[in-house]
Structure 1
Amino acid sequence: MTLLRAERVTLGYGGRPVVHDVSLDIVAGGVGLIGESGSGKTTLARAFLGLLTPMSGNIWYGDQTLKKADMRTFRKDVQPVFQAEALDPRMRIGASVAEALPRAERSRVGELLEQVGLDPELAGRRPHQLSGGQRQRVVIARALAVGPRLLILDEPTSALDVTVQARILDLLAGLDTERLLITHNLAVVERLCRTSHVLFAGRVVESGPTAELLARPAHPYTRALRDAVPRLGGPPPAANGRTEAVPAATGCPYRLRCPLAAPQCERPPALRELAGRQVACHRAEDVLT
């Protein structure tokens, strides 16, 4: 079932578009948004949360646009999980978690802390008295307090060490809640998301099943992201193409970086079906070989 859907959404700031004509569904099994900084991932997530109004297109919540939806129900169904720094340093942990609960249910704070693997006695502490991993679990507990159907997670493990990351990922994987994950970490998206969308310069360049997309990319940008991941015991990753080049203003936005750029790339590519996914690349067949 599709809980949220972007339909030809263009988003921007100050009248300047930064996300262009994006259509995608948030479906069961976890959905990942992959891309470098500035690719439009967080901007799109803000629109899914109702924090940013599209310049054109619509965000659909079930069978209604967000403009017409009951926002009390929406806020209960869709909860953000920001990084641990989102906690108010002046509030005790228990008060922070209880903030979203009706007064009659505030006794559930200890239960929620236990659900994310924390000792209920931590409710009396303030954020600076907890480790980074503990603070991130508090943020998740606070989001779970209202019983959401979907968590929108923005880099939930980026500030944590590897062992703490593993515990947070185990926790998220075990939750009976759907998730939209924004991350640079391909291992995290592979663990938590059945479907992924790769964004470059505010455009979806490849979409499909995460495992297939990462194992056998059909877009040179997806392949560059995958090949940039260091491997234990292997050689250092080598840059492929001009990684410093800005997106092209015309034609394929990736063509100034792309090692496979050809004359046809001066025309903008449309998303098309290929090998079980959608890809916006004139030379996708060459990438797959």
Structure 2
Amino acid sequence: MTVLRAERVTLGYGRRPVVHEVTLDITEGGVGLIGESGSGKTTLARAFLGLLTPMSGNIWYGDQTLKNTDLRKFRKDVQPVFQAEALDPRMRIGTSIAEALPRSARHRVKTLLEQVGLNPDLATRKPHQLSGGQRQRVVIARALAVDPSLLILDEPTSALDVTVQARILDLLAGLDTERLLITHNLAVVERLCRTSHVLFAGRVVESGPTRDLLANPAHPYTQALRDAVPKLGGSPPEAKGRTEAVPAESGCPFRLRCPLAVPECEQAPALRDIRGRQVACHRAEDVLVT
């Protein structure tokens, strides 16, 4: 079942597009948006939340475009989970969570804190009195207060140490709520998302089942992201291609950094079906491991 859908969406700030004609569905089982900083992940998430209006294309929520839907119902069904710094430093934890609840349901603050593995006594504290992991759980509890059907999570574990990350991932994996996860952490997306989309320079370059996509990439950029992950006990990863090169303004945007680039890459590749996924690369067959 599709929860939200982007249909040929172009997004930008002012007149400058930064996301280009993206089409993707947020479906059951968790969906990941993968890419380096500046790839357009957060911009696309802002559009899914209704915080940014597309320059062209549409965001669909059910059978209606977002601009024609009941925003009160939408805000209840789709909740963002930002990083822990989103908490108001002047507001006590219990008050921050209760903000989203009707007056008659504010007794649920205790239950919500317990649901995310926190002691209800923390409700009287302020954010600076909690650890980073505790604050991130408070952000999740606040989002869960309105019983959403979809969580849009923007790097929910990026500022946390590995043991706290593991607790947050266990919590998210156990929730009965669909999720869109924006991250550059491949281990996190593999744990939480059935399907993933890889963005480079505001374009989807590869989409498919997360495990297949990470185990056997079909795009050189996906392969570069995977190979850049350090491995315990191994040598530090070596960068391949010109990692400092900016995206190309014409043709394949990755071609100036791609170690497999050929003259054909001066023509922009379209997304095409290869082995159960979509890939925008002229040399995808050469990247795939047979």
Distance in structure 1 (CA, Å) of the matches to 2:3 and 2:198: 20
Distance in structure 1 (CA, Å) of the matches to 2:15 and 2:123: 44
Q: Does 1:216 align with 2:216?
A: yes
Cα distance, 1:235 vs structure 2: 1.2
Per the alignment, residue 154 of structure 2 pairs with 154
Cα distance, 1:275 vs structure 2: 1.1
Distance in structure 2 (CA, Å) of the matches to 1:14 and 1:8: 19
Distance in structure 1 (CA, Å) of the matches to 2:213 and 2:240: 18
C-alpha deviations, 1:196-217, integer Å up to 9, x for none? 0000000000000000000000
Q: Does 1:256 align with 2:263?
A: no
Per the alignment, residue 125 of structure 2 pairs with 125
Q: How does 1:6-21 map to 2 (within 5 A)?
A: 6-21=6-21
Distance in structure 2 (CA, Å) of the matches to 1:193 and 1:247: 27
Per the alignment, residue 278 of structure 1 pairs with 278
* CA RMSD after TM alignment: 0.4
Q: What are structure 2's unaligned runs of at least 5 residues?
A: none
Distance in structure 2 (CA, Å) of the matches to 1:100 and 1:90: 17
Which amino acid counterpart does residue 163 of structure 2 have in structure 1? Answer: T
Which amino acid counterpart does residue 236 of structure 1 have in structure 2? Answer: P
Per the alignment, residue 196 of structure 2 pairs with 196
Distance in structure 2 (CA, Å) of the matches to 1:221 and 1:144: 35
**Secondary structure of 1:143's match?**
helix
C-alpha deviations, 1:68-103, integer Å up to 9, x for none? 000000000000000000000000000000000000
Distance in structure 2 (CA, Å) of the matches to 1:16 and 1:248: 15
Q: What are structure 1's unaligned runs of at least 5 residues?
A: none
Which amino acid counterpart does residue 284 of structure 1 have in structure 2? Answer: A
Distance in structure 2 (CA, Å) of the matches to 1:288 and 1:36: 21
Which amino acid counterpart does residue 137 of structure 2 have in structure 1? Answer: R
Distance in structure 2 (CA, Å) of the matches to 1:131 and 1:288: 43
Per the alignment, residue 96 of structure 1 pairs with 96
Q: Normalising by structure 2, report the TM-score.
A: 0.99
Distance in structure 1 (CA, Å) of the matches to 2:101 and 2:32: 29
C-alpha deviations, 1:154-205, integer Å up to 9, x for none? 0000000000000000000000000000001000000000000000000000
**Secondary structure of 1:23's match?**
strand
Runs of 4+ in 1 over 6 A off after TM superposition: none
**Secondary structure of 1:110's match?**
helix
Per the alignment, residue 79 of structure 1 pairs with 79
C-alpha deviations, 1:116-175, integer Å up to 9, x for none? 000001000000000000000000000000000000000000000000000000000000
